[in-house]
Chains A and B, each alone.
Chain A
């Protein structure tokens, strides 16, 4: 099963090529099925019409403003959540009493579905961007916090004792012991938070509206029943998501290139 089979290697074994084939086959299927009348073309337009709607969007300034708006909201929410998560995580994680005292509260607040806060967010803030940011920060704060808490408690007891026996002061222990151990967890937290934050950004734009963003544009396309551009915008939201995933994974690998251990991801 694990045998490297040189003799039997074929062109069909190239994973990148196969992946491309998969995407093209999917696109072709979505082209053919509506045209053949298997799927209703007015609700599921063929791929070519989605692509041409996509190209139309690319030519509009308002589209790029929306992309910019979405990315700005996303990054803003992400940065707030990450900073808050790291700071609180390290403070709570390094003080055992604090960790015990907050455990039940964290376990209670974390599973509250972020959209449950949506009506609250709407009535509490008059500016839509703030309502959206509340959702984004709330949802993406928890993955960071939880990962950091795991990271801080993961410090090798032997390393801790070594540091103490060499009489490293508090600052040096934080610099050379706590931070390097926690960093992989921080990166995992950021990666998880980034995708959650993007989902909530676009969801917030879709449901609350009132800001320039991809989500709002989808809502407009829906209400004006311009179906192909709705699909085109959904494709765009997926592409932004893929880019965000690739970027965070790259960053993770870059930052952790020196790290000896591959850390386990904790279930969230």
Chain B
């Protein structure tokens, strides 16, 4: 579903060049939930923006559903980290979710049905008429997720979506992300800097090295499909996986090449 081959991205300007992505190759089969984790500043967001067609890579190829990415690809939605800035503050919650459908040309009655359904799916059935800024941060991110669901994407990219909410809300939102994925069966690429979150959520965890970024290790998470904040997180396998990922990323930080 997602194909990334030798992706390289160099930012430059005023004589200084920063290599954000060194050489990243990664494949995500359809329907998989993959977490990408790496030290902060390792180009996770750059990777995601290249995938979403928001940023042109310096070299390498990116394909979504077999089509090379030149602009935002069909059937792909992104949930941004900055929930406060990714919702239109002048539109009510329902209108925010409805807007992408309008540009898709979905009829009015159908739009209303989809909006209701996706709001219910994220547990915000009664917030349709509120404005985003009247909601808490966690609820705003729920709206952003509802908007993504309503768009009915085949691929859902999530860019550190829960980094800015408090711990309790975060646990709820993590479970929501799993539920949504299981229910709608889309391919999910979830970028985070939080190792626990990556191991808890993913079927697979892709570890990135610090810049210039490469894939450090691609690890299958052999935890049972049914996950639970308490039971899963206190299990021994979770602890093993977690410390494995943790030590790899620590190594990567210490052995940072070329800095």
Contacts and interface: CB of A to CB of B under 8 A. Distances in A.
B185 to A, nearest CB: 32
Contacts of A3: 11, 55-56
Contacts of B17: 6
B12 A6 contact: yes
Nearest to B9: A3
Interface residues of B, number: 7
Contacts of B55: 3
Contacts of B56: 3
A9 to B, nearest CB: 9
A4 B13 CA distance: 6
Contacts of B13: 4, 6
A3 B9 CA distance: 11
Contacts of A6: 12-13, 17
Interface string B49-66: 000001110000000000
Interface in B4-24: 11-13, 17
Contacts, number: 10
Interface string A54-72: 0000000000000000000
Nearest to A6: B12
B78 to A, nearest CB: 15
Interface in A213-242: none
Nearest to B15: A6
A3 B49 CA distance: 11
B86 to A, nearest CB: 15
Nearest to A3: B55
Interface in B23-61: 54-56
Contacts of B11: 3-4
A221 B63 CA distance: 69
A13 to B, nearest CB: 11
A4 B56 CA distance: 11
Interface string A1-27: 101101000000000000000000000
A27 to B, nearest CB: 32
Nearest to B14: A4
Interface in A190-214: none
A244 B12 CA distance: 37
A80 to B, nearest CB: 42
B142 to A, nearest CB: 27
Nearest to A7: B12
A206 to B, nearest CB: 42
Contacts of A4: 11-13
Nearest to A1: B54
B231 to A, nearest CB: 43
Nearest to A4: B13
Contacts of B12: 4, 6
Contacts of B54: 1
Interface in A137-193: none
Interface in B46-100: 54-56
A3 B12 CA distance: 9
A1 B54 CA distance: 8
A117 to B, nearest CB: 39
Nearest to B10: A6
A4 B16 CA distance: 11
Contacts of A1: 54
A123 B12 CA distance: 66
A6 B13 CA distance: 6
A5 to B, nearest CB: 9
Interface string B140-166: 000000000000000000000000000
Given A3-B11, A3-B56, A6-B12, 7 more contacts: A1-B54, A3-B55, A4-B11, A4-B12, A4-B13, A6-B13, A6-B17
10 contacts: A1-B54, A3-B11, A3-B55, A3-B56, A4-B11, A4-B12, A4-B13, A6-B12, A6-B13, A6-B17
6 pairs of A and B residues whose beta carbons are closest in the complex: A6-B12, A4-B13, A6-B13, A4-B11, A3-B55, A4-B12
